[in-house]
């Protein structure tokens, strides 16, 4: 009797466990993340994906700073003294990058992550509310265009080096990746094709973006990026026109003091300055100032690895140039531009636009200068803020002014290439001034061709 | 399916037995020295259903058929005996079994006589695990189970230990075995929030363990199906015993020291090599045309070097006279850290209720400053016979551990990284009277790096774990030979990690007013097993047993992390005081397994054995198409020594050959790896954002391993020599691989089933009784050879750390590096062999100073090919001595810290290893150390320069004990008293020049990234003394 009862109990429990065995027992869905198919259904979904695109775009390995820092390292002769132990940057400053350099790989990876994020937004643009559609699409295209521009000028021969129509650029991907297929193994497009893509995106972005948009990309951000891109291509007329559109938007103004163009020294997050046309946002919770990491002394949250040569400072800046004060002594000399671990990363400042317009006007010498301002007038705007008077505005003056004004902001390498200026004894178009295609990427994608010299 | 199961069970249940009984026999069963044996079974020969057991006093009473001629009397651990029936009183004494081969061993969902095993499993019993000053039981297991490679990553307490059973069976999915404690798959693996892993297994008290079985081949492990391909470790804890309650107390206390030191430059050498490095760099700058004259270049560099040396010499010129000569390496180790361990356990019971109660307090101080581990644990194992056919019980284990952890090997704050600091830097800055580098003062660039000793006093990282593993179970004897077992368990792990970095650690944390972290981890792992076991005789000679059951497991892990900065002062370390909260996150993730399993064994005439098992496993981790997998295994064995031609042999007491073949799986991947996912972690500038976080693979399925095992068990000279030998071939296909995909997709990896690898090998275990008698000497040897080879990776090369690779045709983790060719005698350049291969297959052995031009070669295997352990035990009168040696061979070690510490001062101001003084100085010098060239990175790229042989042999344990005689004991009213001294890691013979050849830097350890040293702490040498007292 007792046994029968127990048998029944056992069978009941077996049945129970078998019943619960149905699919439910194995159906466990993630709670931290959501399925791809559920991610981009509403206007808000796409808008938050756009914000996500900024976070990848602004990673320390991309517009958050490192590729600009690395470009300056490659162009360095005697300004930066490197005391760090990051082998990746030792290779960079020695102009002997290895294919396996992980910083190089990170630039590539994060650049394309930003592109894929933007592609997700662009592909789902139909979901966005009509009133916001242009803004969202414009921002995504700004991110994509700026990403392609940055990648092509680092990983490929300069636009003015040989034939951009045949020189290899970087792969172009314009659709979001939802599955890995044969089509995911993309070959390198030509330099010209990548520039064309970047121009298309940035032009479209400029057309669609609003004039003001908080700290997100604006019409002027896109125009400014186009100005920088056209200047790199040597298309001075287009560069001047684009820079002029930024200046005449009147949405930006130079700070009274040079130092105020940059985040205040310390560790308090701040807002963009009045001359920031575009800056990557850093807060205590998100973003990372990739310049501060190496240029900042440890008092200001950096590693203090990239010291600025006192001799270079003294020989580069006139004593009465206010910009000579944008360095601080913390055992060694450091640039004050990045002395804030939570400072926004300045990507594009108004003074660059004045210098682009001035340079293009000098080079083209049109009957009436673009913007109605002479190179001397534009140059004076930049120099007078630094407390200097301006008497001449030759091409050499303007190029030199770029060095003074934009030092350590990532311009040195790209200016050297477009002006065909050798770096020390290294030819401006030497192979070792171009990033290698990361070995990891070569291993993963057999359709890629390595750059010469690697 | 349900109906099928039901009818199957029913068919089992209808079998019942009825017999006429008409005669009563009673008696007492004892040991040869007349101690009663409770629980011995007595049955009628030929009718095993008629039987009973002895009570606590060894007495039995049994009704038998009138025609009964012979009774069979048996008890675990004793030789069975057949006694002729004459009269109504039959007393018998049983002799103890003196051979391990007839032991009963634990197998999946049951036990089996060791003699009847057809698979390959290694058994390690309590006596080989107890009384060792270890934190986690894996350390005690090292070298004691053939084919099981156990290696610690470093000498930090409570941290990651790698266990590989018959080699790594996976490339990027987990390769750790499945851990089952008393039938329950427990939470194992790493729950550390830092990049240095800890082990959830450390919550188990080694001294509570009765036995460890490592299931190695498919026939032993396939009953655990989808999670068995990396082997299964069955841990059985101590159970109560019938009889008077015995109380055992043990205490162990010891002192640890590092097992090795590494030599660095002294002040004079440091100054010399850096000055020379300045000159070397000046020469390069001059050759590059940066200076007009060499003299000008040298002057510039000299000024820079002297200024730096002044800085690192606390701003004075003491370095010129080498007045300060700091040994940072020695300072990283604590003075005489103490290990203490106290155990108290009680065992007892009667025929109805049995119990084991164990408690332990463990307090270990690590060899590295700031490192300690404490654990308090208790266990209750209780069984009760509710009726004559129902037994219920609980196993309850609770523990609390507190681990004061150190930063990972790659952190400036890891004490051993202080070896990079200059010997000319004083410990105490004379300018401030504080530890060098302490604020206020020259902290931002003095000393060379953040001084980890600041962190020792001003920071903490404490991991506190509360763990409860509880199991309730019932065994119901439904009919003769048929038993139903049900068990339900909850394994609950609560971990809290609290860190605080004080204001003075600013240079390390970048925050000037303190940084606090609080991370909570909560794992709840529930499991239920329900199964029938059945055994019967078939005819006179056949024996059959089977199990059939189901199992369901669900494990949910939740994390939350908060981090805050800006504390009023370092007196406030809780986050309520933090003015700025910088991190607040929470995560949750879960998985489940639903399984059905079946196993049947048949034995004929005590010599022919055949077995079959199958498990069906379903997991939430895989896509809808591939949720279930089926894992069958079969085995055969022949006990040849039972055959007539051997039965009479004087030499051969046992000869068994066996073969098994089967399929097992591996599911150690992320819980949601099959899915395409978006994550909400794309916030930017204060706005919420989402980003694609994972690419989908709906086809993802189990990694499959088929394994063939051929084995031989033997006993010679009345089992004075016993041994086991196995050959195995383990083939893993459809690897769960994190395949690098073009990053142009926006993703870098995809988890997919791609590739194959094999592990083949041999294992040998030999136990010998060399001397018996007054002087006893026994030897236990384990040795194994494993050949691991990846046979297919779909053309991928996995090489994330640029040191180890996974590549087809090579063992996993093979060192894939440019080949260092030494130094060009003419100019001091580091040179490398080109090793390019031309169309005809000729290798170009010319050299280059451009490491980029040198082809990478397969430079060695980080995983040992040969592992062995040998234990010699001696007893003479009351003394016992055991000497345990353990070692590995066939592997190499890469010193990833070499580019900083052995860089001939070409990579900054790091102090250098002593061997760097052999640097190239002038044309014609023949050396392997390139010319020092400050910041010129001459020869510091990853290459075979930093690779060395990793084989070692270690005197792992040396124990000398003395057991007091019964005469003495009776005077002091104790049942047992033993005192002993034991030494761990007393001596190591190795060619490796680093701290310790048992190494793999914690922060980077993966299946592939093995054998890498990066400022990793050596194993401790622990000298301890202990006492065992029995009441």
Q: What is the pLDDT of residues A196-222, one digit of tens each?
A: 999 999 999 999 999 999 999 999 999
Is A52 within 8 Å of chain B by CB? yes
Q: Is B917 exposed, middle or buried (0-12, 13-18, 19+ CB in 10 A)?
A: middle
**What's the rounded mean pLDDT across residues B685-704?**
91
pLDDT computed for residue B17 by the predictor: 39
Could you report the per-residue pLDDT of A109-144, keeping only the tens digit for each?
999 999 999 999 999 999 999 999 999 999 999 999
CA distance readout (Å), B491 to A396, B159, B161? 74, 21, 21
Are B413 and B459 contacting, i.e. CB atoms less than 8 angstroms apart? yes
pLDDT computed for residue B9 by the predictor: 41
Contact B744 A186 (CB under 8 A): yes
**What's the rounded mean pLDDT across residues A174-189?**
94
pLDDT at B67 over 50: yes
pLDDT computed for residue B99 by the predictor: 46
- Chain centroid to CA B937: 37
The Cα of A240 is separated from the nearest Cα of chain B by a number of Å equal to: 31
Q: Is the ipTM of this complex over 0.90?
A: yes
pLDDT computed for residue B74 by the predictor: 81
With beta carbons under 8 A apart, name residues in chain A contacting B506: 298-299
Structural domains of chain A sorted by starting position, each given as residue range(s) with its CATH number in brackets: 37-215+323-341+373-444 (1.25.40.390)
Give the count of Cβ contacts less than 8 A between chain A and B: 291
Contact B935 A90 (CB under 8 A): yes
Band the pLDDT of B441: cuts 50, 70, 90: low
Band the pLDDT of B8: cuts 50, 70, 90: very low
CA distance readout (Å), B385 to B58, B472, B485? 18, 14, 14
CATH number of the domain encompassing residue B27: 2.60.40.1120
Could you report the per-residue pLDDT of A333-354, keeping only the tens digit for each?
999 999 999 999 999 999 999 9
Band the pLDDT of B508: cuts 50, 70, 90: confident
| Secondary element (H or E) of residue B309 | helix B294-312
Band the pLDDT of A24: cuts 50, 70, 90: confident
Of the residues B744, B748, B751, the best mutation for testing chain A's interface (the one with the most A CB atoms within 10 Å of its CB) is B744
pLDDT at B542 over 50: yes
Instruction: Tell me, yes or no, whether B663 lies in a domain.
Output: no
Q: DSSP string of A334-387?
A: EEGGG-BTT--EEEEEHHHHHHHHHHHHHHH--SS-GGG--HHHHHHHHHHHTT
pLDDT computed for residue A103 by the predictor: 96
Are B48 and B55 contacting, i.e. CB atoms less than 8 angstroms apart? no
With beta carbons under 8 A apart, name residues in chain A contacting B796: 443-444
With beta carbons under 8 A apart, name residues in chain B contacting A112: 743-746
Instruction: Tell me, yes or no, whether B42 lies in a domain.
Output: yes
Q: Round the CA-based radius of gyration of chain B to a whole number and report it.
A: 32
Mean pLDDT (chain B, rounded): 91
Contact B743 A26 (CB under 8 A): no
DSSP-derived letter for residue B194 is S
Of the residues A11, A14, A96, the best mutation for testing chain B's interface (the one with the most B CB atoms within 10 Å of its CB) is A14
Is B571 within 8 Å of chain A by CB? no
Is B914 within 8 Å of chain A by CB? no
Band the pLDDT of A298: cuts 50, 70, 90: confident
Strands B1012-1013 and B847-848, bridge-based pairing: unpaired
Number of domains in chain B: 1
With beta carbons under 8 A apart, name residues in chain A contacting B594: 21, 25-26
Contact A96 B745 (CB under 8 A): no
Are B714 and B652 contacting, i.e. CB atoms less than 8 angstroms apart? yes
Is A3 within 8 Å of chain B by CB? yes
Q: In angstroms, rounded to a whole number, what is the distance separating the alpha carbons of residues B597 and B595? A: 7
Could you report the per-residue pLDDT of A397-449, keeping only the tens digit for each?
999 999 999 999 999 999 999 999 999 999 999 999 999 999 989 988 999 99
Percent of chain B with pLDDT over 90: 72
Q: Which of residues 489-548 of B touch A (CB under 8 A)?
A: 506-507, 510-512, 528, 530
Contact B289 A6 (CB under 8 A): no
pLDDT computed for residue B443 by the predictor: 64
Is B394 within 8 Å of chain A by CB? no
With beta carbons under 8 A apart, name residues in chain A contacting B296: none
Are B304 and B278 contacting, i.e. CB atoms less than 8 angstroms apart? yes
Instruction: Tell me, yes or no, whether B48 lies in a domain.
Output: yes
Residues 6+ apart with CB under 8 A from B273: B265, B904, B905, B912, B916, B917, B919, B932
pLDDT computed for residue B84 by the predictor: 85
Band the pLDDT of A266: cuts 50, 70, 90: confident
Contact A33 B1 (CB under 8 A): no
The Cα of A160 is separated from the nearest Cα of chain B by a number of Å equal to: 25
Q: Which residue in B has a C-alpha nearest to residue A77's C-alpha?
A: B290
Contact A28 B592 (CB under 8 A): yes
Give the closest of A51, A99, A439 to B682, CB-based: A51
**What's the rounded mean pLDDT across residues A167-184?**
95
What are the residues facing B537 on neighbouring strands? B543
pLDDT computed for residue B442 by the predictor: 57
Q: In angstroms, rounded to a whole number, what is the distance separating the alpha carbons of residues A269 and B921? A: 51
Q: In angstroms, rounded to a whole number, what is the distance separating the alpha carbons of residues B421 and B433? A: 18
Could you report the per-residue pLDDT of B17-30, keeping only the tens digit for each?
344 457 888 888 88
Contact B683 A286 (CB under 8 A): yes
When mean pLDDT is compared across A310-324, B297-311, B786-800, B947-961, the lowest value belongs to: B786-800
pLDDT at B454 over 70: yes
Instruction: Tell me, yes or no, whether B899 lies in a domain.
Output: no
**What's the rounded mean pLDDT across residues B56-75?**
83
Contact B510 A298 (CB under 8 A): yes
Is B1 within 8 Å of chain A by CB? yes
Angle at B694 between CA B693 and CA B695, to 5 degrees: 140
Nearest to A121 by CA among A230, A208, A60: A208
Is B561 within 8 Å of chain A by CB? no
Q: Which residue in A has a C-alpha nearest to residue B590's C-alpha?
A: A28
Helix axes A395-406, A375-385, angle to 10 degrees: 30
With beta carbons under 8 A apart, name residues in chain A contacting B797: 443
The Cα of B745 is separated from the nearest Cα of chain A by a number of Å equal to: 6
**What's the rounded mean pLDDT across residues B780-799?**
91
Predicted structure pTM score: 0.83
**What's the rounded mean pLDDT across residues A315-321?**
95
pLDDT at A313 over 50: yes
When mean pLDDT is compared across B100-114, B357-371, B643-657, B934-948, the lowest value belongs to: B100-114
The Cα of B798 is separated from the nearest Cα of chain A by a number of Å equal to: 8
Q: Which residue in B has a C-alpha nearest to residue A300's C-alpha?
A: B510
Could you report the per-residue pLDDT of B131-178, keeping only the tens digit for each?
888 899 999 999 999 999 999 999 999 888 899 999 999 988 889 999
Q: DSSP string of B38-52?
A: TT-EEEETTEEEEEE
pLDDT computed for residue B40 by the predictor: 82
The Cα of B55 is separated from the nearest Cα of chain A by a number of Å equal to: 24
Instruction: Tell me, yes or no, whether B238 lies in a domain.
Output: no
pLDDT computed for residue A7 by the predictor: 61
CB atoms within 10 A of CB B583: 14
pLDDT at A19 over 70: no
Give the closest of A15, A36, A438 to B692, CB-based: A36
Of B461 and B626, the structure prediction assigns the larger pLDDT to B461
pLDDT at B71 over 80: yes
Give the closest of B511, B582, B910 to A285, CB-based: B582
Could you report the per-residue pLDDT of A29-49, keeping only the tens digit for each?
898 899 998 999 999 999 999
Helix axes A130-155, A191-208, angle to 10 degrees: 150
What are the residues facing B659 on neighbouring strands? B636, B710
Is A310 within 8 Å of chain B by CB? no
Instruction: Tell me, yes or no, whether B84 lies in a domain.
Output: yes
pLDDT computed for residue A188 by the predictor: 97
Is A311 within 8 Å of chain B by CB? no
Domain that holds residue B50: 20-97
Could you report the per-residue pLDDT of B241-300, keeping only the tens digit for each?
888 898 999 999 999 999 999 999 999 999 999 999 999 999 999 998 889 999 999 999
Percent of chain B with pLDDT over 70: 96
């Amino acid at each position: 009797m007792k046994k029968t009862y127990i048998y029944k109990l056992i069978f009941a429990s077996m049945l129970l466990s078998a019943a619960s065995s149905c699919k439910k027992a194995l159906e466990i869905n993630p709670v931290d993340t959501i399925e791809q198919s559920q991610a981009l259904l509403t206007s808000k979904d796409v808008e938050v994906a756009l914000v996500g695109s900024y976070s990848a775009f602004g990673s320390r390995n991309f517009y958050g700073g490192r590729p600009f820092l690395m470009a300056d390292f490659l162009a360095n002769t005697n300004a930066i003294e490197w005391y760090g132990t990051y082998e990746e940057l030792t290779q960079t400053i020695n102009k002997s990058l290895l294919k396996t350099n992980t910083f190089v790989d990170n630039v590539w990876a994060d650049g394309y992550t930003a592109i894929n994020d933007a592609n997700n937004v662009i592909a789902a643009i139909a979901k966005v509310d009509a009133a916001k559609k242009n803004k969202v699409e414009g921002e995504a295209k700004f991110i994509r265009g700026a990403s392609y521009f940055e990648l092509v000028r680092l990983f490929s021969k300069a636009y003015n080096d040989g034939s951009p129509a045949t020189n290899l650029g970087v792969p172009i991907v314009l659709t979001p990746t939802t599955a890995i297929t044969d089509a995911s193994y993309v070959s390198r497009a030509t330099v010209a094709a990548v520039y064309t893509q970047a121009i298309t995106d940035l032009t479209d972005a400029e057309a669609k973006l609003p004039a003001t948009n908080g700290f997100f990309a604006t019409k002027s951000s896109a125009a400014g990026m186009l100005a920088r891109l056209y200047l790199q291509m040597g298309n001075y007329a287009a560069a001047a026109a684009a820079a002029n559109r930024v200046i005449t938007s009147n949405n930006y103004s130079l700070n009274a003091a040079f130092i105020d163009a940059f985040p205040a020294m310390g560790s308090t997050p701040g807002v963009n300055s009045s001359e920031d046309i575009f800056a990557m946002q850093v807060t205590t919770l998100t973003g990372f100032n990739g310049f501060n990491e190496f240029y900042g002394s440890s008092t200001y949250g950096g590693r203090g690895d990239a010291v600025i040569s006192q001799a270079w400072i003294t020989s580069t800046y006139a004593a009465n140039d206010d910009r000579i004060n944008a360095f601080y002594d913390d055992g060694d000399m450091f640039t004050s531009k990045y002395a804030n671990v939570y400072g926004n990363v300045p990507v594009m400042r108004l003074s660059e636009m004045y210098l682009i317009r001035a340079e293009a006007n000098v080079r083209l010498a049109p009957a009436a200068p673009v913007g109605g301002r002479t190179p001397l007038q534009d140059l004076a705007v930049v120099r007078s803020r630094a407390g200097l008077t301006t008497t001449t505005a030759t091409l050499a003056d303007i190029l030199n002014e770029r060095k003074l004004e934009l030092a350590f902001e990532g311009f040195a390498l790209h200016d050297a290439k477009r002006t065909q200026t050798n770096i020390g004894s290294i030819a401006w178009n030497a192979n070792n001034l171009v990033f290698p295609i990361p070995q990891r990427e070569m291993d993963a994608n057999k359709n890629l061709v390595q750059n010469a010299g690697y | 399916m349900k109906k099928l199961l039901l009818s199957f069970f029913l068919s089992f249940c209808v079998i019942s037995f009825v017999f006429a009984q008409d005669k009563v026999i009673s008696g007492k069963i004892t040991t040869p020295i007349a101690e009663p044996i409770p629980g011995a079974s007595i049955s009628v020969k030929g009718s095993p259903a008629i039987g009973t057991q002895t009570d606590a006093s060894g007495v039995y009473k049994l009704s038998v058929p009138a025609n009964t001629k012979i009774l069979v009397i048996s008890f675990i651990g004793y030789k069975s005996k057949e006694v002729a029936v004459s009269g109504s009183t039959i007393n018998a004494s049983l002799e103890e079994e003196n051979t391990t081969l007839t032991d009963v061993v634990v197998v999946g969902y049951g036990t089996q006589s060791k003699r009847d095993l057809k698979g390959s499993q290694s058994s390690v019993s309590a006596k080989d695990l107890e009384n060792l000053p270890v934190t986690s039981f894996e350390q005690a297991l090292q070298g004691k189970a053939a084919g099981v490679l156990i290696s610690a990553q470093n000498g930090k307490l409570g941290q990651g230990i790698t266990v590989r059973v018959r080699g790594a069976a996976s490339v990027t999915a987990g390769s750790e075995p499945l851990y089952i404690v008393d039938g329950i798959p427990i939470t194992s693996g790493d729950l550390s929030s830092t990049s240095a892993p800890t082990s959830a297994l450390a919550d188990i008290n080694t001294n509570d363990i009765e036995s460890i079985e490592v299931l190695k081949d498919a026939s032993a492990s396939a009953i655990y199906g989808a999670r068995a391909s990396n082997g299964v470790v069955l841990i059985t804890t101590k159970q109560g015993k019938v009889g008077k309650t015995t109380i055992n107390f043990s205490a162990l206390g010891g002192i640890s020291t590092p097992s090795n030191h590494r030599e660095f430059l002294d002040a004079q050498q440091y100054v010399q090599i850096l000055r020379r490095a300045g000159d070397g760099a000046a020469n390069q700058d001059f050759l590059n045309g940066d200076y007009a004259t060499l003299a000008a270049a040298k002057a510039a560099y000299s000024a820079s070097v002297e200024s730096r040396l002044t800085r690192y010499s606390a701003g004075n010129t003491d370095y010129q006279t080498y007045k300060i000569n700091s040994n940072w390496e020695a300072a990283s180790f604590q003075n005489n850290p103490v290990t203490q361990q106290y155990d108290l356990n009680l065992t007892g019971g009667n025929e109805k209720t049995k119990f084991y109660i164990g408690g332990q307090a463990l307090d270990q101080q690590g060899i590295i400053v700031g490192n300690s581990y404490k654990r308090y644990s208790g266990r209750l194992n209780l069984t009760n016979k509710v009726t004559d056919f129902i037994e219920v019980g609980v196993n309850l284990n609770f523990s609390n551990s507190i681990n004061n952890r150190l930063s990972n090997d790659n952190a400036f704050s890891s004490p051993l990284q202080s070896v990079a600091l200059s010997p000319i830097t004083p410990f105490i800055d004379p300018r401030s009277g504080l530890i060098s580098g302490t604020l206020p003062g020259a902290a931002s660039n003095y000393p060379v790096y953040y001084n980890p000793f600041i962190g020792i006093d001003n920071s903490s990282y404490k991991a506190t774990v509360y763990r409860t593993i509880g199991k309730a179970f019932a065994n119901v004897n439904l009919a003769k030979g048929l038993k139903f077992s049900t068990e339900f368990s909850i394994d609950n792990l609560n971990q809290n990690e609290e860190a605080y970095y004080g204001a003075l650690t600013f240079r390390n944390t970048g925050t000037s007013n303190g940084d606090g972290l609080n991370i909570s981890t909560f794992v709840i792992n529930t499991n239920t097993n329900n199964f029938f076991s059945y055994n019967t005789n078939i005819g006179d000679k056949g024996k059959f047993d089977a199990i059939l059951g189901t199992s369901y497991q669900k494990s949910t892990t939740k994390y939350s992390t908060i981090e805050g900065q800006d504390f009023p002062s370092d007196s406030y370390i809780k986050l309520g005081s933090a003015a700025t909260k910088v991190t607040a996150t929470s995560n949750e993730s879960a998985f489940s397994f639903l399984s059905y399993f079946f196993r049947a064994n048949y034995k004929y005439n005590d010599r022919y054995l055949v077995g079959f098992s199958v498990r069906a496993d379903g997991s939430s981790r895989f896509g809808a198409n591939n949720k279930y997998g089926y894992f069958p295994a079969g085995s055969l064995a022949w006990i040849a020594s039972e055959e007539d031609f051997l039965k009479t042999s004087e030499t051969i007491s046992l000869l068994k050959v066996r073969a098994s073949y089967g399929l097992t799986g591996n599911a150690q991947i992320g819980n949601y790896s099959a899915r395409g996912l978006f994550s909400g972690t794309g916030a930017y500038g204060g706005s919420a954002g989402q980003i694609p976080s994972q690419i989908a693979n709906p086809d993802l399925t189990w990694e499959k391993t088929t394994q063939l095992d051929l084995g031989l068990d033997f006993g010679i000279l009345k089992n004075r020599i016993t041994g086991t030998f196995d050959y195995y071939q383990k083939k893993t296909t459809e690897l769960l691989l994190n395949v690098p995909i073009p990053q142009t997709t926006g993703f870098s990896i995809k988890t997919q089933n791609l590739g194959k690898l094999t592990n083949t090998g041999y294992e040998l275990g030999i136990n010998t009784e060399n001397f018996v008698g007054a002087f006893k000497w026994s030897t236990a040897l384990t040795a194994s050879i494993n050949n691991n080879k990846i046979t297919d990776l779909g053309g991928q090369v996995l090489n994330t750390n640029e040191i180890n690779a996974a590549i087809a045709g090579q063992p996993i983790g093979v060192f894939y590096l440019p080949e260092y060719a030494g130094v060009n005698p003419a100019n001091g350049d580091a040179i490398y062999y080109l090793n390019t291969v031309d169309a005809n297959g000729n290798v170009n052995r010319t050299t280059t100073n451009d490491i980029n031009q040198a082809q990478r070669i397969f430079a060695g295997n980080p995983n040992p090919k040969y592992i062995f352990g040998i234990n010699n035990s001696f007893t003479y009168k009351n003394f016992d001595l055991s000497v345990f040696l353990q070692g590995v061979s066939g592997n190499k070690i890469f010193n990833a810290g070499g580019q900083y510490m052995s860089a001939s001062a070409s990579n900054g101001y790091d102090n250098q290893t002593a061997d760097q003084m052999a640097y190239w100085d002038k044309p014609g010098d023949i050396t392997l150390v390139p010319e020092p060239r400050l910041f010129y990175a001459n020869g510091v790229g990853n290459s075979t320069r930093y690779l060395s042989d990793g084989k070692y042999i270690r005197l792992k344990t040396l124990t000398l004990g003395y057991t007091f005689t019964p005469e003495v004991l009776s005077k002091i009213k104790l049942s047992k008293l033993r005192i002993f001294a034991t030494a761990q890691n007393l001596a190591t013979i190795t060619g490796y020049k680093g701290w310790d050849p048992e190494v793999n830097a914690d922060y980077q350890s993966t299946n592939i990234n093995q054998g890498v040293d990066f400022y990793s702490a050596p194993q401790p040498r622990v000298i301890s003394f202990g006492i065992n007292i029995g009441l």
